[in-house]
Each structure stands twice: as C-alpha cells, then as structure tokens.
A and B are shown apart, each in its own frame.
Chain A
C-alpha cells in the first residue's frame, strides 16, 4: 500500500453557489431529484398526448378548437389528421419509455438512494453522474424540438427546418411508432409526413439518450461494486440495490446496440447508405432506385435486442422498490431474499434472449420462433418466484396500509394482471392473431408501463420523508391511489377485449370497420376512464409540491425501517453520513426478530456478541452524535 493510505479521507465541502448546488451539481442526491423532475415534466407531455389520442379515437371528427389554433395544418379546424394521430402515438411511446420509465426509476431514485443504501458518500464518478443527467436533458430538448419542427409549418420550412431534413408541418413528430421500423423510418421525406426533420431529430435524441444512460450505468456498477461501506456484503444489500445494479448491467449491454442501430439508420437517411432499405422499394407510383441490398428486418433485430432488455430496465427498479416497501410495511423480512436476488438476475439474463418474440410475424423461421417462445415463457419462472415471494412477505403480516404500501401492493397486482397475458403473447400461435391488436398495448401498458409507474409512486411516497424531511399527505395519497388503481384497470382491461375482437392498434380511425361498431361504447368508456385518471394525477402533483413546503415534518426514520438511508438525517447532509460512514452488521430486512427490543433491527445494529464492545445500546445512531 502506498503512503497515501494514512492520510485522512478527503471530504468535499458542500458547494454554496446556486449553480453548483442546484444546477450543475455533483451531488448524487441533487442529480437524482433532477432526473425525477425531468421525468415529472416528460410524463405531462406523454400523458397529454395519450389523452389527445383517446379524444380522437372516441369522438372522431369532433373539432377541438385549441388544437386547430396550435396545429393549423396537423389538425385543420381542430380535427386531427390520421398522420397527426400517428405522430402522437410515436411521441407518446418514445417520451414515456425513454424519458419517464428509464429516467425516474434508475436515474432518479437509483441515483438518490443507491449510494446511501450501500453507505457511500456519493457515486464513484460524480462528474460522470452530472454529465449523464445533462446529456439526457439535451436528449429531451431534442425530442421536444422534433415536435415543433414537424408540428409547425413555419419552422419546418425555415432554413433550420430544411437543414434538419425538412418537414410537413402536419404532425408532432415521426409517425412510425416508438420502434421506428424501417424502411418507413429510413427513406426520409419520401415516406410522407413526419419522416423529415422529425425523424432525424428522433434518432439524434435517442442516440444522445443512449450515451447518457451508458454514463449512468458505468457509474452505478462501479459504485455498487467498490464503494460499499464496511460490512455491507453483497447479500446484505437491500433488494433495491440489486435491482438498480441489474438494471445498470442491462443498460450497459443493450444501449450500445441501439446506439449502433441508430447510427446506421441515420446514415441511411442522410448519407444514402442501404443498411435497412432494400432495392426497388415502391412508394406510391414511384420506385426508389437509389438504394440497394439492405434489410428492414435487420432494424427490427437491432431495435428489439435493445428493446426487450429496455422493458426490464423500466420495471426492475419498480420490483426492487416494491420488495423493499412490502417488507417494511408488512413488518416481516422479505420472503426468500436469496431467491429474489437470483430471480432479478434470471429475469435480466433471460431478457437478452427473447427479443424475437416481438417479431413473430416478421417471417422468421418457425424453429427460431419456437426457441424465442420457449425462452420467453421461461421468464415466467423467475417472475412467478418474485410474485410468490411478495405474497409470502404479505402472508400473515400485520400490514400497515400506508400510501407507499398501497402502491407497492398495486404494483404486484398490475404485474400479475399484465404478466398473465404475456404467457398468451409469448406463444407464437396465439401471438399471430393478437399481434398489432389492442391486446398488445393492453398487455405491455399494464405490465411495464403502469406497473413501473406504480413502483415509482410507491417509491416517491416512501422516500419523500427522507428526501425532503416532510411527509406527503396520506389523505391525498390514498385518494390518488384508489382512483388511479381503479382507473388504470378501467383503461386497460377493456383493451384486451378490443384486441380479441380484432381491433388493430395504431389506427387513427375505425369509421369504415363496421365490425367494430359494437365495441365503440367500450372505446368511449376507456377514454373517459383515461381522462379521469389523468386528471387525478393533478392531485399527486399538488400533493408533491405542497408537501415539499407544508407537509407534516418527518423524523430520521419515520417508517421504522432498517436500511442505511434511515440512518442519517432527513434530508441527508451533503456527504450523506456527515463524515462518518456507517458500519453494517446484518441483512437489510430484519423485522420482527425474536427477542429484539423493537420489531425492527437496523443494519447498523451490532450483533449481540459485539454489543458489549462499546458501540452497543442505541447502536443505530450512536456513532453519529
């Protein structure tokens, strides 16, 4: 060892200037909050778009005058064009998947709580951490720019708009869905509205996002492997940390593939290469002769090789938070901690071998399809292990039904309800008729969309007292939970029925499909449920902002929880533990330990054998004061 080991550990002083403290902060806690704010902003855009989509589906041909004013060419007279609707579908998916479901669970809560839960002062590379947020932020600005470049004729035809690839002014972005399938996405303005500047900016935004996520993933893995405090062995980490770690590994291995694919797609569009464009493509009455030899299916492979791990990137942190919160409010240890850890890893690992189940109708060999199908269904095993263990944790418990607990139970409910239909769609023969019907959006919205969001709601209600030193309102929280919980089921359960009737997804208008007339009341029901559920979220936003300033004060450990974040002040100081790192003596979920004075034993509580050595007694915060 070098001589430096004897020097005192250097400690950073908290920055004092506003910019270093709140804007370009190196503090993982501030960066975490920045990610959460980014997600809270992006989700408003995404939900607004979904409400517009519902308006168009339920009441086609109705004039919404405000739309006519904002988008005179996309919604002339306030009536949405089909292309306008399709661009809403695309941008809703893109913004939700990337800027909400990938940022808040991992970048937000992971950033804030991973270092604290493992007993570190900060992330391993604070500067990289800051960069990862600001790179992601730039990605968000670029995706918003795609809306305006395509949505406004003046901008689309301006010098800047033309330089970016030109636009129609009649959409709010590309129209190819969040999957950006080639060749529609690859040939440029010839493919129609939304495929000019909007598509270019879409690709650039996703590429920027990939880089931001990679920086974050590097940081998470190094931090977790190297910065754990004394006694924090891997098997003493909270399940949240395992989930964030697995998520980071998935991000590290899947985002480079999307980045590579995105570069190829951008080259096809701007330089005239033919990675994804076959020769002799016919557009309307003209043949595209400038390209030759590409493969549109190649894009699907590259995209879904990323895309499937991506859905686990969205949901795994929710699973971690749910395990953590269920145990805390059931006042019981997590049932089968080791099994939970292995299940997280198994889900992450299998996630890399199932991308083909998104492509059953792409004309793949039936043998490949069968392989993908078997691997897909095998994910049911670790998923069932997790569900069983969550129920095992709740079994026979004296549950404290707080708002975070309700949302965590809601997560389990939604994960099961959405996961069940995964068994249907994972089988080739059943997927073929269901593919591209409303059955698919119903499935993935429940299992990876709403479930992940419920995980995040549980996390924010749970950790808010730690982050701001105040509780969120329980009364408003429970109101928010019940209406949202019932609301999302009202939205997505009927969608399964629509899918089974044969209602195709992504259609702007069903007027000519008479066989769907009978379920139009259901479509209207779903829309009303969606609008109400969206409005209920305003209560959450109000609760969030109001509680930052006026919420009931919370102590250091208001939930009587056991892990390290409850071992420091609320909110934690700049270096998390005021200069003295905690020492860990036990696992993360020691509730209801026989013979213990309380029904919970904190991780910092020394063993009985070492208690006599001076640290004992009020061990969980004895070293601090």
Chain B
C-alpha cells in the first residue's frame, strides 16, 4: 500500500494557506456552523451542525426500527402458522411498561430544563431518567423470572422465545441509552459542551430522541406480545 496521500509538497501548502482556513468555512453556503474547534481525534474534524447530528440520530433510529420491523414480522408470520402455546404476560412487563413511559416524561422535562438554562434541574431529571431506565431493566429481568416460573424458557417454543428475545434485544439497545444518560449525567456538571465537540443542548436533544424511540419500541413490542397470539 505504497500510497502517497500526503506529500511534503502538500504539507508546505497547508502551512502557507492555514491562515486562510476560515475563508470559506461553511458548508452549503449557509455560513459557518457548529463549533469547529473540536480537538478530539475521534470527533468530526469540522464541527457538525446540530441538524447534522439530528440527521445522524434519525438514521440510527431508522436502522434500529428496520431491525425490529424484521423481528416483528417474524413474530407475526410465526403466530399465524404452527401450533401456538399460550404464554401469560408476566405482570412485571406491565410494570416495566409504566416505568419506561414515565421515563419519557422525565427526559423531556430534563431537556426543557436545559432550554430554560436550569442546569441543576437538567442534571437531576437526567439522573432520574437514568434510574428509571435501570428500574425498567430490572423489571424486565424479573419478568423473565416470572416467565420461568410459568415453566416457559427461551427455547420452549417460538412464542416463549419471542418473550425473552424481544425483551433481550430491546434491553441491549436500551443499555446504549443508559450509557448515554450516564455520560450526560457525569458531563452535566460542566458548562457549555459535552465532550469536545457537541453543545449540551444538542446532546440532550439527541438523547431524548433515542430514549423516546426506545419507549415507543417497547410499547410496540409489548402490544404485539399482548394482543397477537
């Protein structure tokens, strides 16, 4: 791979022209966006606009929704043929549904607190959401124990499999949200930005978008398991 993507000639050029770097700063002719001084190697080189991050988050959501659409269609197809043994919905799943709906309200409150520049309230509601998220996961695990008490296990038959499988895959995605919330809660102490590149309001907006998606996904899966047998 003897590529010569950077020659000494071009390095010189960069030095001579570096002072003019801001001459044409903005993409799309909309002027400079975001904050371009992120020094992080891992972040975007030029600061991306909040809209850019929102677009990215919507695409992440699109991909996740497509996967759950595939898994849901598997459930729908299998529920129409073959023998189906009934699994009773564990009461814990009703509780967890309540918890995650509540957590959508708390994260929304957190986001609005930040808009009103009340940083301590923002941090408090973020932590509340985080705690509710952990409670939700705990309730899901206890739901599994209730399923096991019914005598149905992961591989007992397709219907029981989906109870474990949907909760498990959803839980893994929710863990991503928990990681994000923890990060925001820790970074929430600082003023201004999260990490090196993203304004705090942007990250709060992205987080609530993801969290609401997880909420909506769970309600969808829950109703699927509850109604379609």
Chain A residues proximal to chain B, CB less than 8 Å = 1-2, 4-5, 7-12, 14, 21-22, 26-27, 29-30, 33-34, 37, 120-122, 124-127, 214, 217-218, 221-222, 225-232, 252-257, 259-261, 263-264, 267, 271-275, 278-279, 292-295, 297-298, 301-302, 305, 467-469, 548-549, 569, 571-575, 578-583
| CB <8 Å contact, A4 and B71 | no
**Chain B residues within 8 Å of A30, by CB:** 3, 5
Closest CB of chain B to A220's CB: distance in Å?
Answer: 10
| CB <8 Å contact, B82 and A231 | no
Closest CB of chain A to B24's CB: distance in Å?
Answer: 5
| CB <8 Å contact, B24 and A222 | no
Closest to A575 in B: B14
| CB <8 Å contact, B23 and A580 | yes
In chain B, positions 116-161 with a C-beta closer than 8 Å to chain A are: 154-155, 157-159, 161
| CB <8 Å contact, B48 and A222 | yes
| CB <8 Å contact, A33 and B3 | yes
B83-121 contact mask (Cβ, 8 Å, vs A): 1 or 0: 110000000000000000000000000000000000000
Contact A293/B14 with A33-B3, A579-B21 known, Cβ cut-off 8 Å: no
**Chain A residues within 8 Å of B74, by CB:** 260-261, 264, 275, 298, 302
Closest CB of chain A to B97's CB: distance in Å?
Answer: 23
**Chain A residues within 8 Å of B13, by CB:** 573, 578-579
**Chain B residues within 8 Å of A549, by CB:** 2
Contact A579/B5 with A7-B37, A260-B67 known, Cβ cut-off 8 Å: no
Contact A121/B10 with A273-B158, A579-B18 known, Cβ cut-off 8 Å: no
| CB <8 Å contact, A120 and B27 | yes
- How far does the alpha carbon of A279 sit from the alpha carbon of B85 in the complex, in Å? 14
Residue pairs across A and B with Cβ atoms less than 8 A apart, 23 shown, are A4-B47, A9-B22, A11-B18, A21-B6, A124-B52, A222-B56, A225-B52, A227-B46, A232-B28, A256-B64, A260-B70, A263-B169, A267-B161, A273-B154, A292-B157, A293-B84, A293-B159, A294-B78, A295-B81, A295-B82, A302-B74, A575-B45, A581-B24
| CB <8 Å contact, B70 and A218 | no
In the complex, besides A222-B55, A230-B27, 7 extra interface pairs with C-beta distance below 8 angstroms are A4-B36, A7-B37, A11-B45, A229-B27, A297-B77, A574-B6, A582-B24
- How far does the alpha carbon of A217 sit from the alpha carbon of B60 in the complex, in Å? 10
Return the 4 tightest CB-CB contacts between A and B, nearest first. Answer: A4-B35, A573-B10, A293-B82, A256-B67
| CB <8 Å contact, A9 and B5 | no
Closest to B56 in A: A222
**Chain A residues within 8 Å of B43, by CB:** 127
| CB <8 Å contact, A10 and B20 | no
- How far does the alpha carbon of A221 sit from the alpha carbon of B37 in the complex, in Å? 23
**Chain B residues within 8 Å of A214, by CB:** 63
**Chain A residues within 8 Å of B39, by CB:** 10
Which of the residues B1, B10, B73 comes within 8 Å of A578, measured between beta carbons?
B10
Closest to B38 in A: A10
**Chain A residues within 8 Å of B34, by CB:** 4
**Chain A residues within 8 Å of B14, by CB:** 11, 573-575, 578-579
| CB <8 Å contact, A252 and B59 | yes
- How far does the alpha carbon of A34 sit from the alpha carbon of B1 in the complex, in Å? 8
**Chain B residues within 8 Å of A297, by CB:** 77
- How far does the alpha carbon of A263 sit from the alpha carbon of B168 in the complex, in Å? 12
**Chain A residues within 8 Å of B33, by CB:** 5
- How far does the alpha carbon of A468 sit from the alpha carbon of B1 in the complex, in Å? 11
- How far does the alpha carbon of A301 sit from the alpha carbon of B71 in the complex, in Å? 11
- How far does the alpha carbon of A273 sit from the alpha carbon of B168 in the complex, in Å? 14
| Chain B: interface residue total (CB-CB under 8 A) | 74
Which of the residues B31, B45, B51, B199 comes within 8 Å of A122, measured between beta carbons?
B45
**Chain A residues within 8 Å of B21, by CB:** 8-9, 11, 579-580
- How far does the alpha carbon of A226 sit from the alpha carbon of B33 in the complex, in Å? 10
- How far does the alpha carbon of A579 sit from the alpha carbon of B36 in the complex, in Å? 13
Closest CB of chain A to B106's CB: distance in Å?
Answer: 27
| CB <8 Å contact, B20 and A579 | yes
| CB <8 Å contact, A124 and B44 | yes
| CB <8 Å contact, B10 and A569 | yes
| CB <8 Å contact, B24 and A580 | yes
| CB <8 Å contact, B55 and A225 | yes
Closest CB of chain B to A426's CB: distance in Å?
Answer: 24
| CB <8 Å contact, B42 and A127 | yes
- How far does the alpha carbon of A124 sit from the alpha carbon of B2 in the complex, in Å? 26
| CB <8 Å contact, A228 and B28 | yes
Which of the residues A21, A27, A257, A274 comes within 8 Å of B161, measured between beta carbons?
A274
Which of the residues B7, B9, B41, B48 comes within 8 Å of A226, measured between beta carbons?
B48
Q: Is B176 an interface residue (CB 8 A)?
A: no
- How far does the alpha carbon of A228 sit from the alpha carbon of B30 in the complex, in Å? 10
Which of the residues A4, A228, A301, A574 comes within 8 Å of B73, measured between beta carbons?
A301
- How far does the alpha carbon of A468 sit from the alpha carbon of B34 in the complex, in Å? 34
- How far does the alpha carbon of A45 sit from the alpha carbon of B87 in the complex, in Å? 48
Which of the residues B10, B44, B46, B55 comes within 8 Å of A574, measured between beta carbons?
B10
Closest to B15 in A: A579
Which of the residues B7, B18, B63 comes within 8 Å of A252, measured between beta carbons?
B63
**Chain A residues within 8 Å of B55, by CB:** 221-222, 225-226
| CB <8 Å contact, B7 and A571 | yes
Q: Is B222 an interface residue (CB 8 A)?
A: no
| CB <8 Å contact, B6 and A14 | yes
**Chain B residues within 8 Å of A225, by CB:** 52, 55
Contact A580/B20 with A7-B35, A127-B41 known, Cβ cut-off 8 Å: yes
Closest to B83 in A: A293
- How far does the alpha carbon of A229 sit from the alpha carbon of B46 in the complex, in Å? 12
Closest CB of chain A to B117's CB: distance in Å?
Answer: 14
**Chain B residues within 8 Å of A22, by CB:** 1, 3
**Chain B residues within 8 Å of A34, by CB:** 1
**Chain A residues within 8 Å of B10, by CB:** 569, 572-574, 578
- How far does the alpha carbon of A356 sit from the alpha carbon of B29 in the complex, in Å? 44
B197-218 contact mask (Cβ, 8 Å, vs A): 1 or 0: 0010000000000000000000
| CB <8 Å contact, B4 and A571 | yes
Which of the residues B7, B35, B82, B165 comes within 8 Å of A292, measured between beta carbons?
B82
Closest to A573 in B: B10
Q: Is B179 an interface residue (CB 8 A)?
A: no
Closest CB of chain B to A133's CB: distance in Å?
Answer: 13
